[in-house]
Every structure is written in structure tokens, then in C-alpha cells.
Structure 1
Amino acid sequence: CTPWRYADAVPWHLLRTAKEYNATLVTVLDRVPHQVIAEVARQYGALLTRAGLGEVPRFTIPELPESAGGGSGLLPTTAVAPLRAWLTHRAQDPAARQQALDRTAGGVIASLRSRMPELAAAVSGQYAAAVRLAGTVEQAYGNEGKRVRRELKAGAVLAGDARTRWRGYPVDSTSAELLDALVESLTALLECAVAAADERVREEWQREAALEGPEAVTGEARERIGVVVRRWRRVLEELAEEEVRVLERSAAPDPEAVAALLAAALLGGRRARRAGERLAMRIGAHGALRLRDKGAVLVGDCIDQVLDGERDRRLAPLDALDVGPESQAELIAALSVLKRSGE
């Protein structure tokens, strides 16, 4: 400590903690003006005694004229000779080293005996809280996954621009325009699902006095969702192209039209019953059924990929805690090993 900071709370807290662990201590008051060195040393000694640290060796290093002001800034060797002698003895004397080691190790182990129940309880509480918080995320995203599937059956994707494009198809809207509108609508539905799940998570996490919870859906999250949905569209278009290629007819339908009708049938729910009929007229009933079965799997995979991916991102901070049900037992077992090694 410096002579100006020796009464501060931080060093005294460290000293008391070290005393609890029975660590070998030494204190140094550095560069005390030689005019007040006796008074400062007396007051400092009184503070140590009052804190139950009166037996701790203490050294007071004076600030001398040759080391202050216009001097070199270096203390003469005589000023630090007592401290150097004490440190040299501790470093070079085997018995002194062993005594310090045994005392400190014994103090740490002894402190663990008294602190272990509290520490084990805290670890157990941390694990329980992590399980609750993770459960909130799992439940929120699971509920949103179910809601999205209900919305799809009800035709929620076939709304707004997508509905307008479908009503005007194929006279006033092209297959590409219909596909674009359906992709945008599905993306919006999934973004809303993620936002709703995150809001639920935030509410529950705040009740736990834990993290504030995930932020509102960001541009990065929207981009991730958009990438997954656009990838789903490409795979759907590839399915349509494969189905058209195997048709044994000279006037095969346009693959993009097949993809648009398939997307409308998959995403339009009750509002797009005619999409399935039109699809069957173009590629046959068996082909339409085959495409719809494959497409339904792709839609489910798309929903799962978006929601599971965003859910896992929200769970990452909890996974990083690396706490489990075995942590409490591991602490107690570790203490037992320490006790045996110290005997």
C-alpha cells in the first residue's frame, strides 16, 4: 500500500480474506515521507491490530530525499534491506518455505470445509435456474412451432400480397411472382414466430432475475430466416423439375408453374384447395400426391431449421455455463480428495 491508500477498503478486504485462508502474510507501506513515518506506522499498526492482524509482519519503506523530487527515484538498498532479508529467508530456507506452503494449503482446505455446503448449494441452485431458463426457451419455441403449423393449415401464408397474386394467377400474376409472394409471406410468418418466442423468453427470464433475454429479432436473424426459406424454395423448384422430366408426354408443363402450384398447395391451407386440383391436372394425380408428400416434409424441415436454429442460439449462453446435475457431487468429491491429500 501507499501511505495515502492504506486505510482503503479494498486492501483490507484482501487481507481479511487471506487471514481466513490462513495464508502467510506480509504488509508493506511503500514510500512513506520520512517526516511522518513514525506516526503513519503507528496508525497502521493500530488498524492491523483492530482487524485481528496484529501479528502480521509489516514493513515501512521511507521516501528519502535522494529518491524523491529531483533525485533518481530509486530507493537506496538500506531502505528496503529488512524487507529483502525477510523475503530472502522465505525463499531460500526450506523449512520456511514448507511452513508457508503447509499453512496456506491447510488454510484453504479448512476454509473449503466451511464454505463447501454453501458453494454446493449455490451450484445446485445455478443448475436448477439454468434448467428452468432453458425450459422456458424450449417451451416458447415449441409452442411457436405448433402455432406456425396451425397457421399453415388455416392458410395464413396466403394473405396480403400472396393472396392477391394467387387470385390473379395465372392471368395477372406469373409463377415467379406467386412464388416470390409466398416465400415473403412464409418468411414473415417465421419472423413473427421467432419474435413471439423471444418475447415470452424475455418475460420469463426477467422473473428469474437472470439475463434480460434475447433482443428483438435483428437484421441478422431476419437474414438467417430468409436464407432458410429461399433454400426451401430452390429445393421445391428442383423437385418440380424432376417430376416434369419423368412425365411421358410431349407437352410437359412448365416446371416453374408446377413449383408455384405446389407451393400454394403446401402453404395455402384451406384457402388454396384449388392449387392441388390444378397441380393434379398438370402432372397427374399420382405425381401431384407424390410431390405434395415430399413438399410437406420440406416445409416441416424448413420450419424446424428456422425455429430450432434460433432456439439453439438463445440456449447458447446457458450451455456455456457448463453446469450439470453432477457438479454438486463433483465439488464434494473434490473436497474429499483435498482432505485426504492434506492428511
Structure 2
Amino acid sequence: MPSEHASAELLGALSRLLSALTALDRTFERTGRGAVPAPVVAARAEVIDQLSDYVIPRLVQLEAPLLTVVGGSTGAGKSTLVNSLVGEPVTESGVLRPTTRSPVLVHHPEEEHWFQPDRILPQLPRTEVTTNDVYALRLVSSDLVPRGLAILDAPDIDSIDADNRQLAAQLLAAADLWLFVTSAARYADQVPWDYLARAAERASSVAVVLDRTHEEQVVEVRGHLARMMTSRGLSDSPLFTVSETQTDESGLLPRSAVAPIRTWLHELAGDPMGRASVVHATLDGAVRHNVMAAFDIADGMDAVVTGAASLHAVLDAAFESSSAQLRRQAVDGSLLRGRVLSRWQEFVGSGELLRSVEERVTRLRDRIVENVTGRRAKSDEVLESVTEALQGLVREHVERAVRDTATGWTDSSAGASSAAEEGLDRVSREVAVTAERLARDWRDRVVDMVRSQGADKRMSATFLAVGVNGVSVAVMVLAVSSEAQSRDRSLALAERLLSSIFEAAPAAALVQRAATALLEVVGTPLDAERRRLGGLIDSPARLEALRDEVRGAARQAEYARHLDFFADGGKHA
């Protein structure tokens, strides 16, 4: 038997491996956007199940009874065989197919504690009554079962019911010993041999029972079956034969029909060294198989890392392009078009505003008040039109970035074909709200700048005539055109207006501050959408770390397995 230190080392390594594989949950759920190959997904699920159901619980309790799982083809007589091996009816034979009932585990009354929910097969709830819940494990105690042995009647491995098939595979993977039951009519079927091939690959302990075979067929069928076992790596597995015979009133086969199997199992149960040898052989084979599968999963993650990098590259390119264009168009005069330009020209009146201000001294007071009131109403219209145009520009570039990302993901070899179907080509509802808020916040910030810088100018005739909003309009239209290659002639009027209030240098500085403030916030909705879409795919760095953790845990487990092996004197491999 392995030393306590070696088993502890192996247990810790396998627990780390289980944690590393479990941490891949989020990644492996995203096969539509993550290019996780289906075989890798299936391998991960299988390794997690076997580590959780069998390997780790068995390592924790090496002294537990030998768990013999009786499995096989539909109609092979598994339940009848289990009842006959025990010596009393403990499980119901299925008349209709598929049989929908819980699997049955039979054990000695004094060994029930080994099969509590926190031990072997911890994921299956326990019950002591017959139930149709296929995932409930029914525990039956019987004095006829020797200490050191437990027998589990599993569903058909070729059941037409998917739940039955899935549970059968799970139970067989949790067996110390698989008692495979077949018949003369079914022994050459492909599905059972697929399971047997996997058992041989894992070096699992297997015994085969040729059941329900007429006497005249025994020699021929048994010989053919033995050759098939040899060719598939099962030459060392015991082969038993149960001839076709009548059952008694309790549904049991004659004791003589099952005596060789029953004797063999009872001898294993009564021989601690023999039982330990079977357990260690199966356990070591399971550890080796799962460690190798973990390396394959880590290798499969290479494609996932590459795929994630590709998706992030698409995302980055789309948003960086939109961000660069948005920042450029926010200040190159693109906003000073259409309705904005029309409102601005109405406000400045092709120079009429400045002329009215310059002539203010010769006007009557009531005429000045009338003129100022009208100008202020028009300045509000310009403020609103600039705000709306800025919102529209932001939304336009966010929508383009999201659309380009979705298109790139759809076309990507990383497997993002579900992008459009999932609505990823549409911006989130928050974009419109955020765009409106940033536009209004920028407008208010400009107004505050004007109010602050013009604190000592407010009593000037020009400031009074135009008002805070009028001056702010001039600052905003100049800010959104600060990098323009060519300017509308009406912008010269805005420069003259500001210079007449603040002088040229302070006026230019004010406009620059407004433009800088705009560039600081204009990309906010883009950044939010970029984070949203980026959150739908894992970062390559995170995936690399997960992959490396799986690979490192597998290496540690392989080292610990060899340590366990040498501590046992090389008696199991």
C-alpha cells in the first residue's frame, strides 16, 4: 500500500487539478464565442466527474469496501444477476425499457457509513426507498453481502433514455471493479465495447459475465468473446458464464449458476491485500488517465487563448478606430453643420450681433433690452442644437464600433458565429443616456468656465448685451471647430466677440480649455461599450493563467502518482 505521505501528496495534487479544471467554467460555457473544441469540453466534464465521484473520495478512504458496479447492455439480466449474487431480491428487474428507477447500491449493514453523501459518489442524493429519480442512489443493506464488498446495479449503458446512459457512464467511472454483463445476443454490440475499450485504456479492473447463453452456444460464444477481449486489451480480465436457466419464485438464479462469480467476489472481499490490489490498480489507472486528459485539455486551451486574442484584437481595432474618428470630428468642425450652423448663423446674424453691440451706446434703453432678450433666446437654441449634435455624433461612433466588432466576431475563426443572434451588434440602452449626459455636462462646464472667467467682465456692456449663454455659445462653436482645416466665416465673429470681452489671448485659452474638456469626456460611452463587450470574452492573460494552472496541476499530480507508485514498491502502475 502507498505510504501516508505519498497518498497525501497525491490527494493534494489531484484536489488542485480539480480546482483548476472547475475554474474553467465561465470559459467553457462560451463555446459560441470562445472556440473551445467540443472534445475538450467533454474531456473536462469527464475528468471533473471522475475526480469528484471516485478518485478523490477513494483516496480519502482507501479502506472503504470494494465498489463493484454491475453494468452492461439492455436486457442482459443485470438486476437478476445482482439479486442472485446477493442471495435475495434487492433490486427490481425492468420489464419495460428503458427502466426508469434509481440505481441500487447493496452493502453490509455495518458498512453503511462508507456510502454517506459526503463519500463515494457525493453528487448523488441518497434514498432508502424505491424512486423514479434516476439520479438518486438507493442504499440497501443486506447481511448476505460480506464486509468489504458493495454491489451497485447501474442503468443500461445503451439505454434509449439519455439520463440513464449518462448516469451509467458516471457510475462505471466510479467503480473499483466493473462487472460487465452481456449475453449471447448482445456481446458483439459496439456500445458496450466502446465502454470496455475505455476501461482497458484506464487499466480499470474489469470482469465479464456472459449471461443468458444456451448450453449449446456457450463454447462457441465464450471462445469468440474471449478473443475479442484479448484483442482489446482485456486478456487478464476474468470471464464468467451464466447459462440460460429458470429463476425461482423470488426471481433468483440457481446458486450453482452464479457460484463462481459469487465465490470470486467474496474471496476478494475477505482478502485485504487482494481487495487493495484491485482498488489500487483501478485508482492508479484512473489517476494516470485523468492526468493525461488534463494535459490534453491544457493543450486544447492553446486554441482558446489564440481565439480570445483574436476576438480582443477585433474589439480593440473597432473601438480604437471609432475613438480616433470621434475625437477628431468632435473638434474639426464636423458638428458645425446643418441645424447647428443654421442656428449659429441666425444668432450672429451675419455680423448684426456685433454691430448691435458696438452701437449699444447710441440706442435707447428699451431698444437694448428688446435686442438682448431676443439674442438670449436664440443663444439657448444654439446651445441645445450643439448639445444634440454632440449626442448624435457620439451615438453614431459607438454604434459603428459595436457593429464592426460584431461583424468581426462573426467572421472570426474563433467561433463567434452567435454574435448577431445574441444582439451583440446593437448598443446597450445606456449609450443614449450616457451620450446625453456627457453632452449636457460639457455644455454646463463651458457655461461655468465662461461665468468664472467673466466674473469681472459681467458689468461690461458687451457681456450684458450677449449674456452668459451667448458668450458660452461662442466658446462652444469655436471649441468644436478648434482643429478645423477650414472655418465658416461666421466663426470670425465669435472670435471678435470673445476678444472684445476677454482680449485675444485669454479668449483663445478659454476656447482651448473647452475643447480639452470635450476631448476628455467624449469617449466615455465608447469606453463603457468596449468594457461591456470585452466582458463577454475572457482576456488572453486570464486564459493563459488558467491553462498554465491546469498544466502545472497535472504535472504535480503525475509526479505525486509516481511517488505513490514507488512508495508502494512498484506493485501497481
Which residue in the other structure is 1:179 paired with? 387
In structure 1, give the amino acid aligned to 2:207. Answer: V
Aligned partners of 1:28 and 1:317: how far apart in 2? 51
User: In 1, distance between residues paired with 2:527 and 2:408?
Assistant: 19
CA deviation vs aligned residue, 1:275-315 (integer Å, no higher than 9, x gap): 98759849963444333322211124443333343234234
Decide which moves more: 260-269 or 223-232. Answer: 260-269
Deviations 1:18-58 (A, max 9, x none): 2233221123456x377988476565445334434244234
AA partner of residue 18 (structure 1) = A
Contact kept, 8 Å, 1:182 with 1:264, in 2: the verdict is: no
1:295 aligns with 2:518: yes
Question: Is the contact made by 1:261 and 1:276 (CA closer than 8 Å) also made in structure 2?
Answer: no
The CA distance in 1 between the partners of 2:209 and 2:437, in whole Å, is 68
Report the equivalent of 2:96: none
Give the Cα separation in 2 of the matches to 1:5 and 1:123: 38
Q: Which residue of 2 aligns with 1:143?
A: 317
How big is each residue's C-alpha offset from its partner over 1:71-126, in whole Å with a ceiling of 9 and x where there is no partner? 98x5558476655554454445422321112222444566689x58xx75773563
Change (3 A) 1:80 1:8: same
> Are the counterparts in 1 of residues 332 and 485 from structure 2 also a CA contact under 8 Å?
yes
User: Counterpart amino acid of 1:56?
Assistant: S
| 2:298 is the alignment partner of 1:123 | yes
Quick one: distance in 2 between partners of 1:241 and 1:36?
A: 104
- What's the offset of the Cα at 1:187? 1.2
Note the 1:1-20 alignment, pairs <5 A.
1-2=72-73, 3=183, 5-20=186-201
Q: Give 1:223 shift.
A: 2.8
2:419 is the alignment partner of 1:215? yes
Shift, 1:339, TM fit: 0.9
Q: Which residue of 1 aligns with 2:528?
A: 305
TM-score by length of 1: 0.69
The amino acid across from 1:337 in the alignment is A
Change (3 A) 1:166 1:339: same
After superposition, where does 1:326-337 map in structure 2 within 5 Å? Answer: 327-337=550-560
- Residues 124, 193 of structure 1: CA spacing in aligned structure 2 closer, same or farther, 3 A cutoff? same
User: Which stretch shifts more, 87-96 or 289-298?
Assistant: 87-96
The equivalent of 1:167 in structure 2 is 341
Amino acid at match of 1:218: L
Root-mean-square deviation (CA, aligned residues, Å) is 4.8
Q: Which amino acid aligns with 1:221?
A: V
| Alignment-derived partner of residue 13 in structure 2 | none
Distance 1:318 1:10, change over 3 A: farther
Q: Is the 8 A contact 2:311 2:409 kept in 1?
A: yes
Question: Is residue 338 from structure 1 mapped to residue 554 from structure 2 by the alignment?
Answer: no
Q: Is the 8 A contact 1:124 1:327 kept in 2?
A: no
Residue matched to 2:274: 96
Give the Cα separation in 2 of the matches to 1:200 and 1:319: 22
Q: Does the C-alpha gap of structure 1 residues 153 and 34 become closer, same or farther in structure 2, counting only changes over 3 Å? A: same
Percent identity (aligned): 22
User: Counterparts of 1:279-294 in structure 2 under 5 Å?
Assistant: 281=498, 285=507, 286-294=509-517
Change (3 A) 1:35 1:160: farther
- Does the CA-based 8 Å contact 1:145-1:193 persist in structure 2? yes
Task: Please report how far the alpha carbon of residue 322 of structure 1 lies from its aligned counterpart in structure 2 after TM superposition.
Answer: 5.5
Query: Structure 1 residue aligned with 2:546, among 308, 323, 336?
Result: 323
Q: Whose Rg is larger?
A: 2
Spell out the pairing of 1:140-289 with structure 2 (5 A cutoff).
140-152=314-326, 154-155=328-329, 163-170=337-344, 171=346, 175-203=383-411, 205-206=412-413, 210-212=414-416, 215-216=419-420, 218=424, 221-240=427-446, 242-243=448-449, 246=452, 248=455, 249=458, 252-254=467-469, 258=472, 262=476, 265-266=479-480, 270=484, 278=494, 281=498, 285=507, 286-289=509-512
Does the 8 Å CA contact 2:479/2:512 hold for their aligned counterparts? Answer: no
Tell me if structure 2 keeps the 8 A contact 1:158–1:182: no
* Whole-angstrom CA distance in 2 between matches of 1:338 and 1:41: 37
Q: Which residue of 2 aligns with 1:47?
A: 228
After the TM superposition, which of the residue ranges 7-16 and 168-177 deviates more from structure 2?
Answer: 168-177
Structure 1's unaligned 5+ residue stretches are none
In structure 1, the partner of 2:207 is 26
Distance in structure 2 (CA, Å) of the matches to 1:185 and 1:111: 58
Label 1:301 to 1:186 Cα distance change in 2 as closer, same or farther (>3 A): closer
* C-alpha distance after superposition, 1:231-253 (max 9, x if no partner): 43354355346446645337653
Which residues of 2 match residues 68-83 of structure 1 at below 5 A?
A: 75=252, 78=255, 83=261
TM-score, L = length of structure 2: 0.45
Deviations 1:117-150 (A, max 9, x none): xx757735633x3443333334333333442244
- SS for the counterpart of 1:221 is coil
Contact 1:120–1:328 (8 Å) recurs in 2: yes
Letter in 1 for 2:419: E
| Amino acid across the alignment from 1:96 | G
Residues 157, 245 of structure 1: CA spacing in aligned structure 2 closer, same or farther, 3 A cutoff?
closer
Deviation string for 1:130-180 (max 9, x for gaps)?
Answer: 443333334333333442244235538999998422222255966435433
Paired residue secondary structure (1:25):
strand
Per the TM alignment, residue 218 of structure 1 is displaced from its structure 2 partner at its CA by 3.2
Change (3 A) 1:311 1:264: farther
